[in-house]
Amino acid sequence: MSIKALLKAHGTPLREVYFDLENSPFVPREVVEAMLPYFNKYGYGNPAITHKPGWEAYDELLQAKEFIARTIGASPEEITFTHSGTEANNLAILGTALKFRKDKRKILISAIEHLSVTFAAEHASKLLGHEVLIVPVDEEGFIDSEVFEAYMSKDVFLVSIQAVNHEIGTIQNIKELVKIARDYNPDIIFHMDAAEAYGRIKFNVKDLGVDLVTLSSSKIHGPKGVGVLFIRSGIDIEPIIKGQISVERFWPGSENIPAIMGFRKAVELAFNNFESNVSKMRELRDKLMKGALEEIPYVLVNGPRGDKRAPDNVNLSFLYIEGEALTIELSLRGVYVSSASACTSRILEPSHILLAIGRKYEEAHGSILFKISRYHSEEDISYTLENLSEAVERLRRISPLKGDEHE
């Protein structure tokens, strides 16, 4: 049976609730409307070209940089637009590694970094001969400061650690890790992937002491196709792609002005009423997590709880069933979630992050990720809990993993 036929056979669900924001967040109407003028009169100019349309585009680009810079305590000239968070992470890792290509030194990352950091570091190792050190994490995804310090040495020139983990929501103590790193090497470059923190947790780049920071438009309901790399003034990295002269010194090519304007609007929406937005996400997160644990047996929480967890993140492992099967079952009921990681679910590999925190393969395979947003409601959570409970019960009844423990 085709997917279309399967959906038709099950009929239209009573409600649709979209939680798969890790894979592909939706773009709200206000953001789309903010982009529209920049597809024609106000945005068709290339900001690197000296004529009126170019000047207009350049002015809009600078205003966007100024606006985004203010939200993280940076200067506009420290903001570089890329075409995604993945590209920003690659620029941070490979751009720094190329600067140190004459020295065979060390790059330090954690065991739960986004694959765009992990793979970029591995590529720097193969291409340039740098050694990659991977710091383990505990059962909630935290880096122990003493363990981190044990991995540090004067040979480490680059550290890259996420502010918030994209799968299990762990909020790292970046400020403490920066201090430890700088005690060993005052000139060390510290990169923070903040794609999952931006718009959910306020931070100031100067207060943290970080040198490079990744932001992503799509992670805060902006359009795909634009990201940011903050590059602290005085930090010199190398461009990793070559092309025509543009406004962006580190990322050549024509800037995507409509997408950048959409990103700017998404930032405005995220930071307006910031505290109430975050409070709402946290309340809905806790209701979903508490309800699932109380109503469904044999459920594991992946990652920390409470204030140490990102306000939008719920990651649960449902034992004795496959996450992919549960994803399909929920989809037929109008609840859209992701199984394991957005980066690995298509190839049915267990999440490297869940394995890193000590989950067994079968526990990792049974994981489901829900991402909460300020656009969700109490009714969405109630509908989800009702259908989640029914879906898990049905799948366990037909599971080959029969036994008294889940009958």
Longest pairwise C-alpha distance within the chain: 75
φ, ψ for residue 108, nearest 5 deg: -115, 125
**CA–CA separation, 42 and 53 (whole Å):** 7
**Given the residues 120, 124, 299, 343, the one annotated as active site:** 343
**CA–CA separation, 212 and 85 (whole Å):** 13
**How distant is the alpha carbon of residue 176 from its chain centre?**
21
**CA–CA separation, 360 and 364 (whole Å):** 6
Q: Is 343 a catalytic residue?
A: yes
Contact 137, 112 (CB under 8 A): yes
Element (H, E) at 298: none
**CA–CA separation, 334 and 327 (whole Å):** 10
Please calculate the CA angle 187-153-144 and round it to the nearest 5 degrees. 105
Closest C-alpha among 117, 245, 286 to residue 190: 117
Residue 59 tokens read as: 């002015």
Residue 103 tokens read as: 């020295």
**CA–CA separation, 90 and 82 (whole Å):** 10
Which residues are annotated as catalytic? Answer: 343
